[in-house]
Amino acid sequence: MKITILILIMMMFLPVLQAENGHNLWLGGVCTGPITIECSKSSTTIDLAKHELHKYWQGKENATISLQIKADLLIKGDGYKLTADGIQANTDLGILYGVYSLLRRQQTEENIKEEIVNPSYELRILDHWDNLNGSVERGYAGRSIFWHGGKDSLNISEQDKKLWQEYARADASIGINGTVLNNVNTSPLILTPNYLKKVEVIAKVLRPYGVKIYLSVNFASPSLIGGLKTADPLNPEVKKWWQDKAREIYHLIPDFGGFLVKANSEGQPGPQNFGRTHADGANMMADALKPYGGIVMWRAFVYNPSDEDRAKQAYSEFMPLDGQFRDNVIIQVKNGPIDFQPREPFSPLFGAMKKTSVMPELQVTQEYLGQSVHLVFLASMWEEFLKSDTYQAGHMSTVARCTDGSIYPQAHTAIAGVANTGRDTNWCGHPFAQANWYAFGRLAWNNRLTSAQIADEWLKLTFKPTISGDSTKQQKNQTEWDVKFLEPVKQMMLESREAAVNYMMPLGLHHIFSANDHYGPGPWWAPKGIRKDWTPPYYHQADTAGIGFDRTQTGSNAIKQYHEPLCSLFSNVKTCPEIYLLWFHHLPWDYKMKSGHNLWEEMCYHYEEGLQQVRKFQETWDRVKPYVDQEQFIIVQSKLRQQCLNAQVWKDACLLYFQQYSRMPIPYDIERPVHNLKDMIAKDMKSQHR
Ligand code: GCV
C-alpha cells in the first residue's frame, strides 16, 4: 500500500521534472479528456493501470472503460483481450499490458478492433551488464541505475527509487517482465546478505509493474564467499550451499525469477573447472531453484583459444548435451555464432536442440555498432534474425518459431536483450538508442512485428506533437508532419543498420575492430602474444590470394552445423547470399560478384555507400529541424557529424589496409580516402597504450 502511494505521488511530479530532455522516453502522451473506469478489483497493479488510463487517455471524451479479470482459454499468460472500450485478462498484469497497448494504439492512431493479444515469449528479459561498483560493461549511457560504487554501494536514495520506478514503468509499457540486475562477469558479492537486502528493495519497486528480478551468479560462489573448498556441482556441500542460498533469496523475494550464468567463458569459472559438464552445473542450480519456481538461464557463449573455428564452438559443446538439462534450465544463445557483430548469420544452435529450451540473447547496447554515437536502429537486424529459416522442421522453421514454442514445446520460452540504459538523463546516451530499447520490448512481446512498424510507432510516440486547432487545420498539420518528419526519419532509421554494415563490415566481414573497445576499425590489430581469436586477422584472413574465412568443407566446415538445404546453400559460393559471402568463403580479390564488379571493387563500393548513407542521414535530419525539440535536434545533429567522421575513418582504414593485399586501384568513381594508413595505424596503436 505504502509503495503504491509512493509511486502515485512520484508520478504526479513526472511532467514537472521532465522537460524535453528525453527522459520521458516514448511515454510522453497527454490526456484529452476525462473517462470513467469500471473495475471491480483493486490491487497495486490494477491501480497503476487505472492511473495510466486517467492520465494518458486519448480516446473519446467521457468514455466508459471496463477492466475485467476473467479467464478465457484463448488468452494466454500475460495476454489480454482488447476492445475500444475495455480490456479483459487472466491477471492484473494482463490488464496493465492491455492498458499500455490501448494507450499506444490511441497515440499512434491505430485502428482499435476487438483482438486477443498474447505474448510470443513467456519471459521477456533485459540483462544489465552493471557492475556492483557502478560501472557498466559495454554501457555508453552513464553509470548503473542500480549500483553505486565505493562507500555508497549499498545506499538507496529516494532518487534511486524514483529512477527504478520510471525504469519499471518503461519496461512494462512495452511488455518487458524481467530484469537481470548485474553483469554476467559477476562479482560473487551479489549473493551476500547486504547486497541481497538491496535487491529486495529493488524488487519491491519493480514488482507492481510485473518486472521480476533475476541475478547473474558466479559459479564459484560457494568457495569465493561460502567458505567451501570447492564449487564442484556434484559435491553434496556445494549443492546444499546453493539450496540454502535459494531459500535465503526466496525468503526476501518470493517471486524471484532465477539465475543467469556465464560459465567457463572468458575467464569465468564453471563446472568444467571440476571436470563436470555444463549440464551438471546448470542442473545443480536448477534443482536448488525448482521448489520456488525459479529458472536458470545458462549461456552458450563459450569458446576456447583452440584451433577450432570460434564460430563452431558453442554448438560443439552444447549439442551433445541436448536432452540432459532440467526443464527449468534455458540455454541462452547469442543471435550469431561469434558475438553481436553488425551482421552474422544466425547461430546454428537455433533450430538444433530439440529437447532443451533455447532462448535468444540480443544486444540492445551498441557495443559493436557505434555505441552511443552512431544512429543504428537494431530492429532491422533482429527482424532479419528472427525471420531466418533454420529448417529445423522443414521450411518456415524460423528462429522466431523455433524459440517461441511453435515447433517443439519448450517448458519455458524466453528472450533476453543486453540493456543499453544508464544514468544519463535520456537513459540511453543517443536519443535514437531509446528506439532500440523500445524495439526489443516490442519484439519480445510480438516476434512477428516488422522493423518498419516498430519505427513508425516509436517515432509517433516520441516525437509527434499534440496538434490542436480546427479539424481541417489539424488534418493539414498532421499530413505535413507525416510527410516531412515521419516518413524521412523512419526511412533513415530503417536504412541505418545496413549503412553501419556497409561502412564497417560489408559482405560477411566480421570482428575487425581495433582492440577491445570495439569501436573503430583495426583490421591490422594483432599485438604479440594475444590469443589469435581475439585479433581481426583471424577473422578476415586477408592475403594476396584473397579474403574471407573459409567455413566450408575445405575450411573449418562450420556450415555442417546448419540443416539442409542451408548447409549446401551456404557452402556453394554461387548460392551463398552475398551478405554472408566472406563469413563462409575465402575468395580471390578478382572473384566476380553478381553486380559484375570483382570482389575488391564490390567491397570498395559498399564502404563508399555506407559513408554516403550517413551523409544522407545528416541531410535528412537537418531538414526536420522545425519538427524537433531544439535540444534533441542539436544532440542528434552533432552525433551524426561524428558518425560521418567515423564512417570516413572506417572506409579509409579498411580500403587502404586491404588494398595492400588486393593490389588493385580503388574504383575511380568513388571518393578518394582522406586519411593515410600509416597515420591511422600509428594513432590506433598509441590509443591502445593510453
Ligand atoms: C559481459 C563480449 C563482450 C564482453 C561480454 C561478453 C559476454 O565478449 O565484449 O564485454 O562480457 O561478450 O557476452 O559475456
Q: How confident is the model over 591-625, as pLDDT tens digits?
A: 999 999 999 999 999 999 999 999 999 999 999 99
User: From the CB of residue 61, how many other CB atoms can be counted at a distance below 10 Å?
Assistant: 9
Q: Residue 184: CB within 6 Å of ligand 1?
A: yes
Spatial separation of the C-alpha atoms in residues 316 and 370, rounded to whole Å: 31
Mutate to test the pocket of ligand 1, among 138, 303, 335, 535 (most ligand atoms within 8 A of CB): 138
Is residue 463 within 8 A of residue 628, CB to CB? The reply is yes
Which pLDDT score, from 0 to 100, does residue 16 have? Answer: 36
- Reduced to 3 states, what is the DSSP secondary structure of residue 414? strand
The atom of ligand 1 lying closest to the CA of 265 is 14
Provide the 8-state DSSP code for 179: E
- For residue 246, how far is its CA from the centre of ligand 1 (angstroms)? 26
Displacement of CA 476 from its chain's centroid (Å): 37
Spatial separation of the C-alpha atoms in residues 156 and 256, rounded to whole Å: 20
Closest-CA residue, ligand 1 atom 2, reads 339
- For residue 47, how far is its CA from the centre of ligand 1 (angstroms)? 40
Catalytic residues: 266, 339, 367
Q: In the predicted model, is pLDDT for residue 93 greater than 80?
A: yes
Q: Residue 129: CB within 6 Å of ligand 1?
A: yes
H helices then E strands: how many in the chain?
Answer: 22, 13
Question: Average pLDDT of the chain?
Answer: 95
Residue 286 half-sphere exposure, CB side, CA atoms within 13 Å?
Answer: 18
By percentage, how much of the chain surpasses pLDDT 90?
91
Provide the 8-state DSSP code for 492: H
Q: Residue 185: CB within 6 Å of ligand 1?
A: yes
Q: Residue 407: CB within 6 Å of ligand 1?
A: no
The atom of ligand 1 lying closest to the CA of 361 is 13
Mutate to test the pocket of ligand 1, among 130, 135, 301, 510 (most ligand atoms within 8 A of CB): 301
- For residue 409, how far is its CA from the centre of ligand 1 (angstroms)? 30
pLDDT in tens, 492-517: 999 999 999 999 999 999 999 999 99
Residue 251 half-sphere exposure, CB side, CA atoms within 13 Å?
Answer: 9
**Distance set, CA 638 to CA 235, 429, 617, 618, 645 (Å):** 57, 13, 12, 9, 11
- For residue 124, how far is its CA from the centre of ligand 1 (angstroms)? 20
Q: In the predicted model, is pLDDT for residue 468 greater than 90?
A: no
- Reduced to 3 states, what is the DSSP secondary structure of residue 651? helix
* Phi and psi at residue 268, to the nearest 5°: -75, 140
**Which residues are CB-neighbours of 224 under 8 A, at least 6 positions away?**
188, 218, 231
- For residue 361, how far is its CA from the centre of ligand 1 (angstroms)? 12
Spatial separation of the C-alpha atoms in residues 227 and 241, rounded to whole Å: 10
The atom of ligand 1 lying closest to the CA of 418 is 13
206 CB-contact burial (10 Å; exposed 0-12 / middle 13-18 / buried 19+)? buried
The atom of ligand 1 lying closest to the CA of 516 is 9
Which pLDDT score, from 0 to 100, does residue 13 have? Answer: 40
User: Residues 172-179: what's their mean pLDDT?
Assistant: 98
682 CB-contact burial (10 Å; exposed 0-12 / middle 13-18 / buried 19+)? exposed
Q: In the predicted model, is pLDDT for residue 12 greater than 50?
A: no
Is residue 550 within 8 A of residue 556, CB to CB? The reply is yes
Rg (CA), the chain: 25
Beta bridge partners of 66: 38, 86
Residue type, 683: K
Q: Judging by DSSP bridges, how do beta strands 123-127 and 258-261 pair with one another? A: unpaired
Per-residue pLDDT band at 664 (split at 50, 70, 90): very high
Residue 180 half-sphere exposure, CB side, CA atoms within 13 Å?
Answer: 34
Is residue 646 within 8 A of residue 372, CB to CB? The reply is no
Q: Residue 262: CB within 6 Å of ligand 1?
A: yes
Q: Given phi > 0 = left and psi -120 to 50 = alpha, else beta, which region is 529?
A: left
Spell out the alpha helix ranges (H) of 624-673.
Answer: 630-662
Residue-wise over 90-122: b if at least 16 C-beta within 10 A, else e? bbbbbbbbbbbbbbbbbbbeeeeeeeebebbbb
In the structure grid, which three cell numbers stand for residue 657, read together? 589496409
Q: In the predicted model, is pLDDT for residue 467 greater than 90?
A: no
pTM of whole model > 0.85? yes
User: Residues 530-551: what's their mean pLDDT?
Assistant: 97
Which pLDDT score, from 0 to 100, does residue 4 have? Answer: 53
Mutate to test the pocket of ligand 1, among 187, 216, 265, 339 (most ligand atoms within 8 A of CB): 339
* Phi and psi at residue 496, to the nearest 5°: -65, -35
Per-residue pLDDT band at 3 (split at 50, 70, 90): low
- For residue 142, how far is its CA from the centre of ligand 1 (angstroms)? 18
